[in-house]
């Protein structure tokens, strides 16, 4: 859930409106890994006397909305405390996680007024329905990468897709997303589907499809920089896998180490594995 900047029929306390003066609502979210769990620590700072009084009167509450689009996980945390902890199984989250913080009415509030209203609202009162949002804090976007990410499996950070065309224009590669997308024309895609589930062909697929896609990806990172791509799952998986070999995915490495070398490092020598698989297939054919 991304916070949408929209108009409300009453004053809203937020950093994107000027409906309140001398007031503030700020949230802080930290995530710590535990055994098979992610621990979310929520802290809020509310600088507004009337809203703080409504919290104490149990008429409004702090609400934290946690959402992970990749796993379709959603959870609402409701509390009257400015500090809160929530533990979530790591299996339920992966990739980008959005955390939005609100102050929400627990009951209808007639004739709501606030001494810190902007002068434009001086002398006005508002009816707040139950569930109405009174304040919105800053949004947090947290990137969760599974420590068990297995780069050697094609489905992990790559998607092999059909391009609805009979014309062979070669493989097309897109890296603007959580997975690197490889587009094949109809015949090539059908051939891929016929062998993709056969273990003996996996090294060949790595050499023919994944290796050139990784080389292309490293060349883009070298020329464009990494900042634009750091939010994507494939980038974090590559970064994590290279760290296991004491290689930092940064500008210096990209400029000084050939892209084909980095790509082969990630796939554990795919050329050698591919050649061995060809020999194994040939030996099986001879035995038949």
Q: What's the pLDDT at 25?
A: 96
Residue 203, C-beta contacts closer than 8 angstroms, at least 6 positions apart: 270, 273, 274, 276, 277
Phi first, then psi: give them for residue 112, nearest 5 degrees: -75, 125
Do residues 160 and 128 both lie within one domain?
Answer: no
Mark which of 116, 144, 172 sits at the end of a domain: 144
Task: Report the domain count for the chain.
Answer: 2
The model's pTM is 0.54
The Cα 123–Cα 80 span in angstroms is 29
Is the pLDDT confidence value at 153 over 90? no
The Cα 97–Cα 38 span in angstroms is 12
Residue 35 falls within a domain, yes or no?
yes
Do residues 125 and 167 both lie within one domain?
Answer: no
Q: Taking the CB of residue 284, how many other CB atoms lie within 10 A of it?
A: 10
Q: What is the 3-state secondary structure (H, E, C) of 198-218?
A: CHHHHHHHHHHHHHHHHHHHH
Do residues 184 and 125 both lie within one domain?
Answer: no
CA dihedral 117, 123, 127, 130 (to 10 degrees): 30
The Cα 212–Cα 195 span in angstroms is 19
Quote the distance between the C-alpha of residue 121 and its chain's center: 39
Do residues 122 and 211 both lie within one domain?
Answer: no
Helix, strand or coil, per DSSP, at residue 105: strand
Largest CA distance in the chain: 92
- Chain segment 25-37, per-residue pLDDT in tens: 999 999 987 767 8
Residue 278 falls within a domain, yes or no?
yes
Do residues 215 and 246 both lie within one domain?
Answer: yes
Residue 272 falls within a domain, yes or no?
yes
Mark which of 126, 144, 162 sits at the end of a domain: 144
Do residues 167 and 132 both lie within one domain?
Answer: no
- Going through the chain in order, the beta strands assigned E by DSSP cover 24-34, 37-47, 60-68, 73-79, 83-89, 95-105, 109-112, 126-128, 133-136, 140-144, 158-163, 172-174, 180-185
Do residues 100 and 203 both lie within one domain?
Answer: no
Query: By C-alpha distance, which of 229, 141, 228 is closest to 179?
Result: 229
Do residues 29 and 117 both lie within one domain?
Answer: yes
Mark which of 84, 112, 144 sits at the end of a domain: 144
Are the C-beta atoms of 263 and 238 separated by less than 8 Å?
no
- Chain segment 160-217, per-residue pLDDT in tens: 999 888 898 889 999 998 899 999 999 999 988 888 777 777 778 888 898 999 999 9
Could you tell me the residue range of the domain that residue 116 belongs to? 24-144
The Cα 120–Cα 117 span in angstroms is 8
Q: Say which CATH number the domain at 55 has.
A: 2.60.40.10
- Percent of the chain whose pLDDT exceeds 90: 55
Is the pLDDT confidence value at 285 over 60? no
Measured between alpha carbons, how far is residue 54 from residues 12, 21, 202 in Å?
15, 18, 61
- Chain segment 233-267, per-residue pLDDT in tens: 899 889 888 887 889 999 999 999 999 999 988 88
Residue 8 falls within a domain, yes or no?
no
Do residues 199 and 258 both lie within one domain?
Answer: yes
Do residues 140 and 220 both lie within one domain?
Answer: no
């Amino acid at each position: 859930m991304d916070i949408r900047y929209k108009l409300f029929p009453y004053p809203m306390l937020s950093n994107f409106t000027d409906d309140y003066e001398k007031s503030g609502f700020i949230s802080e979210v930290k995530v710590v890994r535990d055994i098979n769990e992610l621990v979310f620590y929520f802290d809020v700072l509310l600088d507004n006397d009337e809203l703080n009084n409504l919290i104490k009167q149990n008429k409004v509450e702090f609400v934290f909305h946690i959402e992970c689009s990749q796993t379709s996980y959603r959870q609402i945390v409701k509390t009257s405390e400015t500090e809160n902890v929530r533990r979530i199984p790591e299996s339920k989250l992966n990739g980008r996680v959005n955390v939005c913080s609100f102050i929400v009415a627990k009951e209808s509030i007639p004739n709501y007024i606030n001494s810190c209203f902007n002068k434009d609202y001086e002398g006005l009162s508002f009816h707040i329905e139950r569930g109405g949002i009174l304040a919105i804090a800053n949004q947090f976007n947290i990137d969760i990468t599974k420590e068990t990410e297995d780069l050697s499996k094609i489905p992990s950070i790559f998607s092999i897709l059909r391009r609805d065309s009979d014309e062979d224009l070669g493989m097309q590669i897109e890296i603007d997303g959580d997975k690197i997308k490889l587009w094949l024309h109809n015949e090539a895609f059908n051939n891929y589907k016929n062998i993709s589930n056969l273990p003996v062909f996996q090294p060949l697929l790595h050499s023919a499809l994944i290796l050139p896609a990784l080389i292309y990806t490293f060349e883009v990172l070298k020329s464009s920089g990494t900042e634009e791509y750091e939010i994507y799952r494939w980038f974090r998986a590559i970064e994590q896998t290279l760290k296991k070999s004491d290689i930092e995915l940064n500008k210096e490495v990209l400029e000084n180490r050939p892209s084909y070398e980095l790509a082969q490092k990630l796939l554990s020598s795919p050329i050698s594995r591919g050649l061995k698989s060809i020999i194994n297939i040939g030996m099986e054919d001879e035995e038949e």
